[in-house]
Structure 1
């Protein structure tokens, strides 16, 4: 793949942006999208008033009394995420998704100017075709492209050129380095190391002992400028997921069985539209409050995207398992294969 500039494209306030497509009259007002009574995404007017993802909806209302709360339209969000990644793939020769709303793009650019032109085209098409604002960062490596897209928000394009890159590789706080966890940062900060330049003050062996071999190598590479600059495309989906919450804002609660049925319907519809069949399913039960997720697995003897077939599998999993009170569920179709490669399959 190209060693030229890379793009990092990231939809702005994705859940909120999807909701506002059908509610343009709310765009200038503070809006938050709620999943299981927790804010999943807030638009920028809401963020300006202190509303952040992850807080309880009632807490957000206290922070911003005029806040408009909307229950997350999970079906629309999942379909918008697929459409966005399809658009990225149409604009680039290689796409490495990070989530449903962001990805690294190799557009084959040989210069920053070519990368910028490609970034403007991604943004133009996302706005025109999907009505979703996308911020784009341009940088020599993935880290620099990601930092650039952060700087581009909201709804902009930003380039980190050689001069600024050199500054960042010295002055960037470790807490802002993509992929470095809080525990690693805490261990280094205990030694007084808070920026990338501070890594020069300790021997590599000390760094390796503190952070582990893989993280020590990554940090040294970031400091030296030899960090990852290769977009690794996902050639074919191997899984598809749909999820939802039992409780929402201003809607009836759902039982685990009702929610599972909805998730199966959604994910099977998406699989059929993509021409994919699955022979495995994973049901992830997300409990209320503290506690680990419960993961249940099922399968079918032949690949299928028939929602009735997979609903039967899910019902059987729920019936024979002790599932605690749930905050939400995730249904994942696994071992996906193209339908045209499967012979004599009954839908």
Structure 2
């Protein structure tokens, strides 16, 4: 038997969540590695899966949780053996495949990554998809030439999960970070994470008629999209890049091609779901070296399975600060 948070949908379409026990035989038969999960986390997608939003969950009953970290219990794959510590993010686990809000999961070996030395399962979930995505964004900006001496790097949605970790990583690497937030009460939190300047959301969330403004930012990690991303594109320095990681402000992009044509601005799409194994391994290794774990801990709130329905609703409202670690045994 294993313990899990199960989401179900009635014939009338009502969504319910319940912590219950299931038999191991109910785990997905198509998987070849069974993991004893120790920790999971809460991301925006988890909020959708917990509440039935976005059409992400196709079949009910369902176990959400797009991330988990734990120890291999059994394996039919030569890649892993019992006792190996592993982490999983992406691959639509927790959406179309039973996920991490349980004490066990059975998944495909190619979806797993060995947990790097120096990182506990709890720390891995403090990172989670949000932190993993933030690291991919920083790596993409660096691969396109970003370096600290070029000037300020903008982080939008900075108080959220991706933004918080991106702020910490960039600060650790020596960048001047301008953190955008619509919550003034998070200023001290963001400065503690490494932000050198706070930018009020109101300064950037309106479109302007001019396709280009003063060259201000050497790089940007954007978790907002929409009108704010369009505005930021016109403020990038020549040849600078924006790593787009989210759409909290909307999926539309009311922009022109002028920043791309006259300033050589790059818009880099960051996908963490289907990222190939080698890039995943590289990102997790960079987490160990470039993400200060003490600052990571400062943004963590730990919860149990029973608290997830509330937090799922909160994260969709933008009311969650930093990172949430889920102790699946609690």
So what's the TM-score if we normalise by structure 2? 0.22
Larger-gyration structure (1/2): 1
Q: Which one scores higher on RCO, CA 8 angstroms, separation ≥ 6? A: 2
